[in-house]
């Protein structure tokens, strides 16, 4: 059981009033949140310091991910002035993974997250006619079903409850979202922040029965999704079919919350092709695919970050060639994380698998 | 020691020397695989014997990541093998090299050799 702030208003309004209170009383210096940038409902992330602006424009629960907010938080932290961030569970996990890699800090960040119904693909959401889509979305997630309009990986996401948030807000599976606001405080930090805020405080938690029901549906959906990428033909042909379309733009790694390297190994001169190399290869093969090394890049990236993949789906969303990148990375990432009993974003103290060793493990290796 | 002991091992093996098994970036293995190598054998010092104390433990983790990725994608992870063979174990090297070559012979040639997409 946790302490829960109860406000007799819609969840969005209640949360914004709470944040306004924190801003006015100088407990935080600003809020990172989604906000609408025009009347058509198009949303972007913004860091807002003015309480009036916050109340007017913030859309904290908009089902869209213009960028993975963990990347933004990396540029906002470490900070000496406390800030609040309203982000999705996978964005929070992504940020925790970044903090482990020294790309930001959780100090002075009040993380607010919510049970997430998934996000609508970017180009669908950021079009002028999204109003009905969004209304329908919020109607569906009052129940336990995931809307059809969301990303494929969101439909199959089993970690829709934030793992390390200071404040958790029930949105998905909460049918009283329009009339009632509960802010579940998971940390001392959050309780301290809410001290002077005039509200009712009760002892409560997420409805475990509803959460279990959602989880059951998501798990079933995941099995279906993973079957679509499981190899129907011999592995290599399948791989060529899937990644053969790759144009080598490396957009997937640009938007990836885990790929933080300023210079990606695969963009460095280590893997430059010159005419000698090409001639050498052409002497063995009848033709050469250009640009080269697209499959090499994907396999290499899997080696570098798959165990930390939070399955946010951003890579698939931006892929101009329509490759199901995220589905493949999520599936493979889960397989890899499993052998190390690792869950990305579970705990900031949990060291990433390649940075730590155990003397006794994998006895089958080495013979 | 396999050479001075006059032990036989298959000629199909091309030996590359690294200073520690943890020097082997998984990306080396990928490159070898995608450019047509039928198999890659990594030799490393036994756990606990590492001159740098922990090098081979890291190798083992990286190797397992690569292997799991290959299994997950339906590729043949048997084409990679990690074996603890220390510098003085010529006999073991010859034995493992023969075994591994036989395994690879059973799997057959690597399809990447003729695939223009790779």
pLDDT tens digits, A68-118: 999 999 999 899 999 999 999 999 999 999 999 999 999 999 999 999 999
Cβ-Cβ contacts under 8 Å between A and B: the total is: 109
**Range B81-91 average pLDDT:** 91
Buried b (16+ CB within 10 A) or exposed e, A148-164: ebbbbbbbbbebbbbbb
Residue among B86, B92, B84, B90 nearest B6 (CA): B90
Is the pLDDT reported for residue A241 higher than 90? no
CB contact under 8 A, A365 and B73: no
Q: How far is CA A209 from the centre of its chain?
A: 24
Q: Does B37 touch chain A (CB under 8 A)?
A: no
Q: Which residue in the set A238, A335, A361 is minimally distant from B68, CB to CB?
A: A335
Number of residues that make up chain A: 367
Helices (H), chain A: 11-24, 51-57, 69-76, 89-100, 122-125, 131-140, 152-155, 188-193, 208-229, 235-243, 251-254, 275-282, 294-305, 314-318, 325-339
Q: What is the pLDDT of residue A195?
A: 86
Q: What is the pLDDT of residue A234?
A: 55
**Range A353-360 average pLDDT:** 92
CB contact under 8 A, A365 and B118: no
Tens of pLDDT, residue by residue over A339-348, are: 999 999 999 9
Strands A109-114 and A167-169: parallel
Percent of chain A topping pLDDT 70: 98
Q: What is the pLDDT of residue A282?
A: 86
CB contact under 8 A, A336 and B68: yes
Buried b (16+ CB within 10 A) or exposed e, A318-346: bbeeebbbbbbbbbbbbbbbebbebbbbe
CB atoms within 10 A of CB B66: 23
Residue among A292, A281, A205 nearest A246 (CA): A292
Q: What is the pLDDT of residue A348?
A: 93
Is the pLDDT reported for residue A254 higher than 90? yes
Q: What is the pLDDT of residue A102?
A: 94
Å from B82 to nearest chain A CA? Answer: 5
Q: Where are the domains of chain B?
A: 21-107
Q: Which residue in the set B54, B112, B116 is minimally distant from A236, CB to CB?
A: B112
Å from A352 to nearest chain B CA? Answer: 11
CB atoms within 10 A of CB A285: 16
Q: What is the pLDDT of residue A94?
A: 96
**Higher per-residue confidence, B2 vs A323:** A323
CA distance B64 to B28: 15
Contacts of B58 (CB under 8 A, 6+ apart): A354, A357, B22
Q: Does B62 touch chain A (CB under 8 A)?
A: yes
CB contact under 8 A, A296 and B31: yes
pLDDT winner (highest mean) among A202-206, A241-245, A279-283, B66-70:
B66-70
Tokens of A343: 């869950």
Nearest chain A alpha carbon to B60? A365
Is the pLDDT reported for residue A299 higher than 60? yes
CA distance A212 to A316: 28
CA distances to A113, A156, A229 from A207, rounded to whole Å, are 16, 20, 33
Residue among A289, A196, A192, A302 nearest A248 (CA): A289
Per-residue confidence band for A228, with pLDDT thresholds at 50, 70 and 90: confident
Is the pLDDT reported for residue A307 higher than 90? yes
CA distance A130 to A70: 25
CB contact under 8 A, B30 and A265: no
Largest CA distance in chain B: 43
**Range A290-308 average pLDDT:** 91
Residue among A302, A342, A150 nearest B66 (CA): A302
Per-residue confidence band for A230, with pLDDT thresholds at 50, 70 and 90: low
**Range B36-49 average pLDDT:** 92
Q: Give contacts of A351 with chain B, Cβ < 8 Å.
A: none
Tens of pLDDT, residue by residue over A31-75, are: 999 998 887 778 899 999 999 999 999 999 999 999 999 999 999
Mean pLDDT, chain B, rounded, equals: 90
Q: Give contacts of A231 with chain B, Cβ < 8 Å.
A: 73-74
Q: What is the pLDDT of residue A18?
A: 93
Q: What is the pLDDT of residue B25?
A: 93
Is the pLDDT reported for residue A231 higher than 60? no
Nearest chain B alpha carbon to A338? B68
Q: How far is CA A85 from the centre of its chain?
A: 14
Per-residue confidence band for B42, with pLDDT thresholds at 50, 70 and 90: very high
Compute chain A's Rg from CA coordinates: 22
A291 preceded by a cis bond (ω within 30 of 0)? yes
Q: Which residue in the set A237, A302, A365 is minimally distant from B69, CB to CB?
A: A302
**Range B17-31 average pLDDT:** 93
């Amino acid at each position: 059981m946790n302490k829960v702030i109860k406000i007799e208003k819609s969840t969005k309004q209640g949360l914004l009033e709470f944040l306004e209170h924190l801003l006015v009383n100088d407990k935080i210096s600003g809020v990172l949140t989604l906000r609408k940038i025009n009347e058509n409902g198009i949303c972007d992330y913004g860091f807002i310091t003015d309480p009036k602006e916050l109340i007017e424009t913030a859309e904290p629960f908009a089902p869209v991910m213009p960028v993975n907010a963990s990347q933004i938080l990396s540029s906002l932290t470490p900070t000496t002035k406390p800030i609040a961030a309203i982000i999705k569970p996978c964005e929070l996990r992504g940020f925790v993974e970044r903090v482990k890699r020294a790309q930001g800090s959780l100090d002075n960040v009040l993380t607010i997250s919510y049970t997430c119904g998934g996000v609508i693909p970017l180009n669908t959401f950021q079009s002028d006619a999204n109003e009905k889509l969004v209304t329908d979305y919020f109607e569906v997630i009052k129940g336990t079903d995931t809307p059809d309009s969301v990303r494929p990986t969101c439909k199959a996401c089993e970690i829709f409850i934030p793992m390390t948030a200071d404040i958790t807000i029930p949105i998905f599976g909460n049918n009283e979202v329009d009339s009632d606001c509960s802010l579940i405080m998971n940390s001392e930090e959050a309780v301290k922040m809410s001290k002077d805020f005039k509200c009712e405080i009760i002892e409560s938690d997420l409805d475990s029965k509803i959460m279990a029901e959602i989880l059951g549906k998501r798990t079933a959906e995941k099995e279906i999704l993973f079957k679509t990428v499981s190899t129907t033909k011999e592995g290599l042909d399948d791989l060529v079919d899937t990644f053969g379309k790759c144009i080598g733009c490396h957009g997937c790694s640009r938007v990836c919350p885990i790929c933080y390297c300023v210079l990606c190994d695969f963009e460095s001169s280590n893997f430059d092709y010159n005419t000698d190399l090409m001639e050498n290869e052409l002497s063995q093969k009848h033709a050469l695919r250009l640009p080269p090394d697209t499959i090499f890049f994907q396999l290499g990236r899997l080696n570098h970050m798959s165990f930390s993949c939070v399955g946010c789906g951003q890579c698939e969303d931006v892929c101009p060639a329509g490759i199901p990148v995220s589905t493949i990375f999520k599936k493979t990432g889960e397989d890899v994380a499993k052998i190390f009993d690792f869950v990305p974003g579970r705990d900031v103290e949990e060291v990433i698998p390649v940075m730590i060793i155990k003397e006794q493990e994998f006895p089958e290796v080495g013979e | 020691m396999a050479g001075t002991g006059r032990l036989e091992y298959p000629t199909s093996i091309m030996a590359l020397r690294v200073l520690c098994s943890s020097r082997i970036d998984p990306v080396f293995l990928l490159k070898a695989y995608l450019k047509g190598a039928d198999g890659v054998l990594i030799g490393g010092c036994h756990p606990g014997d590492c001159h740098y104390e922990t090098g081979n433990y890291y190798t083992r983790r990286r190797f397992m990541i690569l292997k799991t990725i290959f299994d997950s994608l339906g590729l043949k992870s048997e084409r990679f093998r990690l074996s603890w063979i220390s510098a003085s174990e010529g006999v073991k090297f010859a034995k493992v090299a023969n075994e591994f070559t036989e395994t690879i012979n059973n799997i057959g040639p690597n399809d990447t050799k003729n695939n223009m997409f790779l």
